[in-house]
Every structure is written in C-alpha cells, then in structure tokens.
C-alpha cells in the first residue's frame, strides 16, 4: 500500500512518501524514509520491494557522488535520471541470464541553476518521463486525481503543501489499508532537505 507522489512548483520540486515498511499483513515500522537525498540538489523517492529499494537507491546515490568526485562537477537532474533509467534497463535485460531486475519505481526531483526544478518518473521496466506531477503505489489512484483537479503551473510552496495535504487526507480516507505517516521533502535553489512530516499515530 505504498504511496509516493511529487510535483513541480514555482522554483522548487517536492516529493512526499508514506513511511510504512510492510510485508504482507505485517507492519514492521512506520518511520521508514523512502526519499533519499542523492546530492545537494536532488531527491529520489522510491517505492517497491524493500530490499531492491534500499540497495538500488544507495547504488545510484554512490555513483552520483563518484561522478562528482571524478569530474569535479555534479550530474544534472536530467543526466542523473538517464543514468538511473540505464541501470534499471541493464538489470532488466540481464534477467534472461539469471540476474533479477530491480522491482523499484522512482520519482527523481532536482534543481539545476540553468533549468530550474524538474521531476522525472522512472518505473521498474525503465520507462522515463519528465513530468510536472507524478505518483506511484496504490495511493496514486487518489493523489493523481487530486493533482489533476487542483494542480496549477507555478504553484507557490504554500499552495503545493496544501495540495499535498489534500492528497494525504484523501489517501487516508479512501484507501482500505492506508499508511498513517508521510514525509515531505523539497529541493530548490537552496538545496534538498526535509520539509515536514505528517503523522497520525506514534512511530513503531
């Protein structure tokens, strides 16, 4: 019942994700952070198998750092998205030779000085799209419909957070097994950081 969604506003991009770690009918923890800070100006929100999510996102993060260390400049958001897509595609095509693909879906948000904020949608079969808004998981049925109704280009941070809260309320009220806690992170010219959390029960 994972929920990861994001949008682009006026000078920033944000990603929100539930913080539940579940397996079948069991909740292992409710403070899992599914949004990784890739570098100073990039966020990676992931959903999917817990092991694949942790291993693959860390692999991408370390390679992004390695590129900057070797070349002295960071990858652009578009370059990081294409690198991530390439790694997913490679793993998918090696499936015939015994290697399992990564069952992980990704929203990659970043801020580049020349381009501004951007958001990329990358699914487990290596589909890549640049979007203004996107979502993964069962919560996407409700968050996408809310964003289709209320999203506008050039939204302020306050308007975007209000829309995120609307999506969270809708997910909690409509999804039969709804995750209680969410984390929201933003990236803008000042960098990538956690903005706030939305919690309805104490963390396990």
**Residues 72-120 pLDDT 10s:** 999 999 999 999 999 999 988 886 565 678 899 999 999 999 999 999 9
- Asked if the model's pLDDT at residue 203 lies above 50, the reply is no
Tell me if 85 sits within 8 A of 67, measured CB to CB.
no
- Asked if the model's pLDDT at residue 202 lies above 80, the reply is no
Q: Which of 15 and 93 is assigned the larger pLDDT?
A: 15
Q: Strand order of the sheet with strand 3-8?
A: 133-137, 3-8, 12-18, 182-188, 191-198
Query: What is the average pLDDT value for the chain, to the nearest integer?
Result: 91
d(CA 113, CA 60): 22
| Poorest-pLDDT segment among 17-21, 30-34, 181-185, 198-202 | 198-202
pLDDT of residue 77: 97
């Amino acid at each position: 019942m994972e929920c990861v969604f994001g949008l682009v506003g006026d000078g920033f991009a944000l990603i929100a994700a539930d913080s539940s770690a579940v397996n079948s009918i069991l909740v292992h923890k409710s403070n899992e952070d599914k949004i990784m800070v890739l570098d100073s100006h990039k966020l990676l929100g992931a959903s999917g198998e817990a092991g694949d999510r942790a291993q693959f996102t860390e692999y991408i993060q370390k390679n992004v750092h390695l590129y900057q260390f070797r070349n002295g400049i960071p990858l652009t958001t578009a370059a990081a998205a294409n690198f991530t897509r390439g790694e997913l595609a490679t793993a998918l095509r090696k499936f015939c030779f015994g290697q399992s693909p990564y069952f992980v879906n990704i929203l990659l948000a970043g801020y580049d000085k020349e381009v501004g904020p951007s958001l990329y949608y990358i699914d487990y079969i290596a589909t890549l799209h640049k979007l203004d808004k996107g979502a993964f998981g069962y919560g996407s049925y409700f968050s996408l419909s809310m964003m289709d109704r209320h999203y506008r280009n050039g939204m302020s941070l306050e308007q975007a957070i209000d829309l995120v809260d609307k999506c969270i309320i809708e997910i909690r009220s409509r999804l039969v097994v709804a995750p209680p806690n969410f984390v929201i992170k933003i990236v803008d010219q000042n960098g990538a950081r956690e903005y706030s959390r939305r919690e309805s029960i104490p963390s396990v």
